[in-house]
Amino acid sequence: MNQVLADRYRIDTELARGAAGVVHRAHDRITGEDVAIKILHADAASEPAVATAFLDEAEVLTELNHPGIVRPRDLIVNGTLMALVMDLVDGVDLRRVVIDGGPLPSRRAAVVVSEVAEALAAVHAKGIIHGDVKPGNILIPSDGGSVRLVDFGVARRIASPDAPTHATPDYTAPEIVDGGHSTDKSDVYGLGLVLYEALCGVSPYRGGSIDDVLDRHRAMIPLRPETVVAELWSIIESCLALDPADRPGAQAIPSMLRATMPLLSDEAADAVTPRLAPRPPVTPPEPMPFLAPTPVTPAAGDAPPTSVVPASPVAILGESSETKGRNKSKLLIAAAAGIVVIAAAGVLGFAWLAGATVDDSKPYEPQADEQTSEDPDSKDTKDKKNNDDSTPSEEPSSTDEPSSSPTGESGGENGTGGDSGEENGNGGSEGDFPGEGPIGSTFPDKPGGR
């Protein structure tokens, strides 16, 4: 083929084809490098929804910089010609690897999925959801380089929950089946199915009509094959949890897989026939019961336990009726005593207030019955007493100094107060572009055949 795009890219062999477009190997006449070019069919490019999705994919890829994601190089838009130029990665998608060669050895499967999880975590960290994680969108390079996550044709931003949701039936998360939007945990669900398929050779939900497949995602859970070690299976199970909140984040999966490496094998197992069981019913957690305190029996020779006043209603569960009666009587007596004390305090307070006013305009004069501070046994006191017995008392002189109040009473001012095929690799088959499901359908249908 001698076609040249934008006077720069000479089109060579075809790598993959789908309903919306085709992927070619091409040669960059300026840099001398081979590249991959994804070209929309003219009729697809004339549809606004398809054209917009294509431009969105190009924009998303320019924001991502990770060895597990194919790097975009150029975008060509000229009338009905729309093409995306990307790095060329020679290799085969994981779906084709499993179809041709059967299940991967468990150690190899863990390495592949771990690398995809790292790429997926980088995508999520940028606020983007891939939206179509499946074996057909995972490219295995023939040179042993980093595994690539490809086909961002249905990717969308986490901040745009109202964007249309597209999915391949075999890898559709239950919340999407129920009419919800895809999230980063929906990508993790797809990644769990990728690990299952790499180990077992087939998707556990494949078979029957699209409705049958979708219903199984919501109602059934795969059972562990004997060929998969329990530690690796627990990771698959966590990724396939019905509640997205119970699934791990993509960034946690690589370390979870690395922890299982000593238990894994370099020998591939035979393909298995999937077995499914009903998902366990979701029930709300039961409230914690209140427990009475456990009685402690003292050891021989120990002092008898001291009675303790209960601090809360929980502590008095199990008391006898006799004990409850004594406690009630004590409470009534204490309450009555409290009322008497309060009443007495009120009477005293009123009396104090009634007699606390002092007229500062004239000198203080002690009352006749006021006690003096003299010692009754002193000589002067005895003489005075003798005189008082024989001489009538006299009124105090007006020139006497006013005596200070023995109680110090005055004023009071100072008183205290928280399956795309492989977009840019060899081995893609017809129907693999871009992200067409392994059963030949996409849910719901994306304009242009996705």
Check whether 372 has a pLDDT greater than 60.
Answer: no
pLDDT-derived band at 16, boundaries 50, 70, 90 = confident
Residue with tokens 């197992």: 269
In the predicted model, what is the mean pLDDT of residues 392-399?
A: 42
Residue 439 contacts residue 171 (beta carbons within 8 Å) = no
Distance separating the N- and C-terminal Cα atoms of the chain: 27
In the predicted model, what is the mean pLDDT of residues 30-40?
A: 96
Distance, in Å, from the CA atom of 265 to the CA atom of 352, rounded to the nearest integer, reads 94
Do the domain assignments include residue 262?
yes
pLDDT-derived band at 240, boundaries 50, 70, 90 = very high
Higher-pLDDT residue of 30 and 49 is: 30
Q: Residue 176: which domain range?
A: 90-278
Question: What is the model's pLDDT at position 338?
Answer: 64
Check whether 262 has a pLDDT greater than 70.
Answer: yes
Radius of gyration for the chain, computed over Cα atoms and rounded to the nearest angstrom: 45
Residue 124 contacts residue 253 (beta carbons within 8 Å) = no
CATH number of the domain encompassing residue 208? 1.10.510.10
Of 37-41, 84-88, 167-171, 282-286, the range with the lowest mean pLDDT is 282-286
Do the domain assignments include residue 83?
no
Residue with tokens 């490219």: 139
Of 194-208, 216-230, 254-268, 312-326, the range with the lowest mean pLDDT is 312-326
Do the domain assignments include residue 205?
yes
Tally of domains within the chain: 1
Distance, in Å, from the CA atom of 217 to the CA atom of 170, rounded to the nearest integer, reads 8
Question: What is the model's pLDDT at position 320?
Answer: 45
Check whether 215 has a pLDDT greater than 50.
Answer: yes
Residue with tokens 């979701």: 282
- Cα–Cα distances (Å) from 78 to 5, 45, 83, 84, 411, in that order, read 10, 10, 9, 12, 99
Distance, in Å, from the CA atom of 261 to the CA atom of 238, rounded to the nearest integer, reads 18
State the catalytic residue, choosing from 7, 74, 100, 132. Answer: 132
Alpha-carbon dihedral sign for residues 166, 171, 175, 177 = positive
Do the domain assignments include residue 250?
yes
Question: What is the model's pLDDT at position 2?
Answer: 74
Residue 50 contacts residue 43 (beta carbons within 8 Å) = no
Do the domain assignments include residue 31?
no
Do the domain assignments include residue 101?
yes
Residue 363 contacts residue 402 (beta carbons within 8 Å) = yes
Residue 366 contacts residue 403 (beta carbons within 8 Å) = yes
pLDDT in tens, 110-128: 999 999 999 999 999 999 9
Question: What is the model's pLDDT at position 299?
Answer: 54
DSSP strands (E only) in 65-147: 72-78, 81-87, 91-93, 128-129, 138-141
Residue 59 contacts residue 140 (beta carbons within 8 Å) = no
Provide CB contacts within 8 A for 278, sequence distance 6+.
219, 220, 221
Check whether 441 has a pLDDT greater than 60.
Answer: no
pLDDT in tens, 330-360: 555 666 666 655 666 665 655 555 554 444 4
Question: How much is the mean pLDDT over the chain?
Answer: 77
Residue 427 contacts residue 135 (beta carbons within 8 Å) = no
In the predicted model, what is the mean pLDDT of residues 137-164?
A: 89
pLDDT in tens, 39-53: 999 999 999 988 998
Q: Sheet with 21-28: list strands edge to edge.
A: 4-5, 9-17, 21-28, 34-40, 81-87, 72-78
Of 13-22, 218-227, 297-306, 387-396, the range with the lowest mean pLDDT is 387-396
Do the domain assignments include residue 238?
yes
The answer to whether 132 is a known catalytic residue is: yes
Distance, in Å, from the CA atom of 308 to the CA atom of 310, rounded to the nearest integer, reads 6
Do the domain assignments include residue 249?
yes
Residue 15 contacts residue 429 (beta carbons within 8 Å) = no
Residue 419 contacts residue 6 (beta carbons within 8 Å) = no
pLDDT in tens, 175-190: 999 999 889 999 999 9
